[in-house]
Amino acid sequence: MVRTFAAEQIDALLVTSRANIRYLTGFSGTAALVVATCADLLLVTDFRYDEQARAESGAVARIEVESASVWDRMFRELATLGSLGTIGYEAHALTVRDAERLAHAGKAWRWKPAGELVERLRVRKGPEEIAAIRHAALLAGEALTSTLGSVRVGMSELEITGMLEGHLRRLGSEAHPFSTIVASGPRTALPHARSSARTIAAGEWLLLDFGAQVEGYCADITRTVVVGARADDRQRAIYELVQGAQLKARTAVRAGMLGADADALAREPIEARGFGSAFGHSLGHGLGLEVHEAPRLSKTNAEPLPENAVVTIEPGVYLPGQGGVRIEDDVHLSSSGPVLLSDGRTELLELV
């Protein structure tokens, strides 16, 4: 952090993002502030997390527990961290109310909005982080298999969501990293549909986009199946187009490739078939302690993809009034090439 602080011209960094706090300290509670200097790491939390903070973070940080205001305690503890002139803060994670605290209770120090300094560290995953994401991804695939074995025509999207989330928990997922998407029929053309009370009819698409979490790290999977009948010719053609684009991208993506070039791997074959306007989102995003983090695999990203990032590969084709197909897997951008972390089972499933 010494070089980072020098480059940013700060003496310390106030960390308020929960994901960044967990990354730096291991603390998984919901109420804490962290101050990092070149020599110290201070974590301030409240009485609810006394034992938890000491167990999770005591080996790497000085723990201070406050029964009243963690902000007041943090300001008092700043004086123990040596001579601090300018302190950076996470402008992207700070509320207006908390920014006002810096201007008033923290007026003894100079406060400077800092870039996403911890996020830059988080983008390159270590072996333990990659192992946790792989565990979460394989767990998610197992939960899907258990769920699809029970899916029947006439079930509602919410009923299937409940089954899937139950299997995820049973198999060890710590949380649902985002709201599970189960969409059917024409609602599969909504890329971020909410699960609804709609029931599935024979021959319709069923799209499931869901995640799992292990040791705080997230997986993100999407599968699209046909329920109650064989796929018709049009369904099969759309599915095979998306499947082929997804396979091309997940096997050809590389660290060092521009985010825009990675996006083009899947976008070009879809555009070549005349469905470019039906693929309206980016190819993928980073995975880690948050389900959406850097880097972006998008046509607007001119930055190279970092080595050891973990990303999603999720092209889709969405036809309003008819339905849509999305297929998503999780990939580690290793030094020797892409490594699939999820099960990669993208064959067209017909639940008949």
Does residue 7 surpass a pLDDT of 90? no
CATH class of 2-122: alpha beta
Determine how many CB atoms are found less than 10 A away from the CB of residue 234: 11
Cis peptide before 320 (omega within 30 of 0): no
Let me know if the fold of 2-122 is the same as that of 127-351: no
Three-state DSSP class for residue 169: helix
The burial class, CB within 10 Å (0-12 / 13-18 / 19+), for 239 is buried
Q: Mean pLDDT, to the nearest integer, of 211-237?
A: 98
What pTM did the predictor assign? 0.94
Q: Are 333 and 285 in contact (CB under 8 A)?
A: no
For the segment 73-101, the average pLDDT, to the nearest whole number, is 94
In three-state secondary structure terms, 120 is helix
Percentage with pLDDT > 90 across the chain = 96
Confidence label for 109 from pLDDT (cuts 50, 70 and 90): very high
289 to 26, 77, 126, 152, 204: CA distances (angstroms)? 11, 28, 13, 34, 34
pLDDT tens, 274-301?
999 999 999 999 999 999 999 999 999 9
Distance of alpha carbon 177 from alpha carbon 152, whole angstroms: 26
Instruction: Tell me the mean pLDDT in the region 250-260.
Output: 98
SS3 60: coil
The mean predicted confidence, pLDDT, of the chain is 97
Structure tokens at 218: 């997230």
- What percentage of the chain has pLDDT greater than the value 70? 100
Question: pLDDT (tens digit, 9 = 90+) per residue, 49-59?
Answer: 999 999 999 99
User: Which residues does 130 contact at the CB level (< 8 Å), separation at least 6?
Assistant: 308, 310, 332, 341
User: What pLDDT, on a 0 to 100 scale, did the predictor assign at position 113?
Assistant: 94
Residue 67 CB: number of other CB atoms within 10 A? 10
Opening angle at CA 210, ends 298 and 340, nearest 5: 60
- Looking at residue 3, its pLDDT comes to 79
CA distance 17 to 158: 32
- Phi and psi at 75, nearest 5°, equal -65, -40
- What CATH number belongs to 127-351? 3.90.230.10
Is 78's pLDDT higher than 70? yes
User: Which pLDDT value is given to residue 263?
Assistant: 98
Q: % helix / strand / coil in the chain, to the nearest 5?
A: 35, 25, 35
Domain spans, the chain: 2-122, 127-351
Q: Which residue has the higher pLDDT, 270 or 1?
A: 270
pLDDT single digits (tens) 13-43: 999 999 999 999 999 999 999 999 999 999 9
Instruction: Place 2 in a pLDDT band, splitting at 50, 70 and 90.
Output: low
Q: Is the pLDDT of residue 74 over 90?
A: yes
pLDDT tens digits, residue range 195-223? 999 999 999 999 999 999 999 999 999 99
Provide the CB-side half-sphere exposure for 293 (13 A, CA).
Answer: 24
And the tokens for 246? 């997804």
